[in-house]
């Protein structure tokens, strides 16, 4: 299937009166994930996050919809690196029933059979495959729906054939992009647990009644640095936990095994006696760097869990309430 075929069909139901080139920009934009880093956020403000939104003439985009021109390999590669498609799938599922039936027929006429309830996911899958084809210079992509394919299992991986680099897994020549990369540009609600524990540790070390996130920029430099370093570590580990759980059917289970293995290695250090909670935190962080993490099959993936992610796992354990407090490890 060509990009212009599916795009032209979608335009019929989503923007029948608009200009073709404008629809191409909107279509691609609707399939992208949210910007994650400060750089990506700035790109978004400059209309550069969508690879088709800048440095392309509207006439060129019109011709892409008409099938006279193609999205370049470089731009398609950027689309793939930022592709999500879930919001767009929801848009498809919210179309009028008659329009969805027409789209269903369009797919059936090309040998793609899908239930109407799965139409959004199917279109999401089709576009993903087309963009990956275009990134390889393939214009007419042979579509085979993957929405019913079982997720691969980590247990079946061979350690000598898989490694992680730049947020991607390389397996026997295949590349799987880890889909989630949490940015430190914002503080997420789900960070509250371990951040609260960090602030309590800083407060005790400084003989203060309390410390909040808003106080961090005014703390002595070593506590500021510690806080920013711990957030970086947590977000890296949490990104991997969420990505692995999404990519592999046993990803969540294997990460749980990793966390359990890590806790077994640090709990004696965690429950030891210290002058204050900040000292307990530092000693546990030192310990995790030396712990052998071998029980989880994730250990087969070279470069996936480095020193940064080991530190992050400590804070995931706090968020999970496996460890409750740096100040009082026996706190309920």
- 3-state class of 231 per DSSP? helix
The greatest distance separating any two alpha carbons of the chain, rounded to the nearest whole angstrom, comes to 72
Q: Is the pLDDT of residue 161 over 70?
A: no
- 3-state class of 68 per DSSP? coil
> What's the mean pLDDT in 4-18?
96
How far apart are the C-alpha atoms of 289 and 293, rounded to whole Å?
10
What pTM, to 2 d.p., does this model score? 0.61
HSE-up (13 A, CA, CB side) for residue 156? 8
Residues 15-37 pLDDT 10s: 999 999 999 999 999 999 888 76
> What is the percent of the chain where pLDDT is above 90?
73
Residues 244-279 pLDDT 10s: 888 888 888 999 999 999 999 999 999 999 999 999
């Amino acid at each position: 299937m060509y990009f212009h075929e599916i795009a032209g069909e979608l335009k019929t139901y989503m923007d029948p009166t608009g200009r073709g080139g404008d629809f191409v920009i909107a279509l691609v934009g609707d399939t992208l994930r949210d910007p994650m880093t400060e750089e990506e956020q700035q790109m978004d403000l400059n209309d550069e996050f969508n690879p088709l939104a800048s440095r392309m003439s509207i006439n060129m985009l019109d011709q892409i919809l008409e099938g006279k021109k193609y999205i370049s390999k470089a731009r398609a590669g950027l689309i793939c690196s930022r592709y999500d498609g879930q919001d767009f799938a929801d848009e498809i599922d919210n179309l009028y029933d008659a329009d969805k039936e027409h789209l269903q027929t369009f797919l059936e006429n090309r040998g793609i059979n899908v239930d109407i309830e799965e139409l959004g996911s199917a279109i999401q899958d089709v576009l993903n495959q087309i963009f990956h084809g275009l990134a390889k210079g393939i214009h007419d992509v042979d579509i085979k729906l993957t929405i019913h394919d079982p997720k691969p299992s980590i247990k079946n991986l061979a350690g000598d054939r898989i490694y992680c680099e730049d947020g991607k897994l390389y397996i026997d020549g295949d590349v799987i992009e880890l889909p989630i990369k949490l940015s430190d540009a914002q503080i997420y609600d789900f960070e509250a647990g371990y951040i609260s524990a960090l602030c309590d540790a800083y407060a005790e070390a400084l003989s203060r009644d309390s410390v909040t996130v808003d106080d961090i920029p005014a703390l002595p430099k070593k506590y500021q640095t510690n806080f920013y370093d711990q957030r970086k570590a947590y977000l890296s580990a949490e990104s991997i936990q969420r990505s692995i759980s999404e990519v592999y059917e046993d990803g969540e289970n294997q990460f749980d095994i990793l966390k359990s293995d890590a806790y077994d290695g640090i709990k004696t250090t965690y429950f030891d006696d210290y002058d204050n909670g900040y000292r307990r935190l530092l000693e546990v962080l030192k310990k995790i760097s030396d712990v052998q993490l071998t029980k989880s099959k994730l250990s087969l993936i070279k470069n996936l869990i480095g020193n940064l992610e080991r530190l992050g796992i400590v804070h995931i354990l706090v968020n999970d309430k496996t460890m409750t407090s740096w100040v009082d490890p026996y706190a309920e």
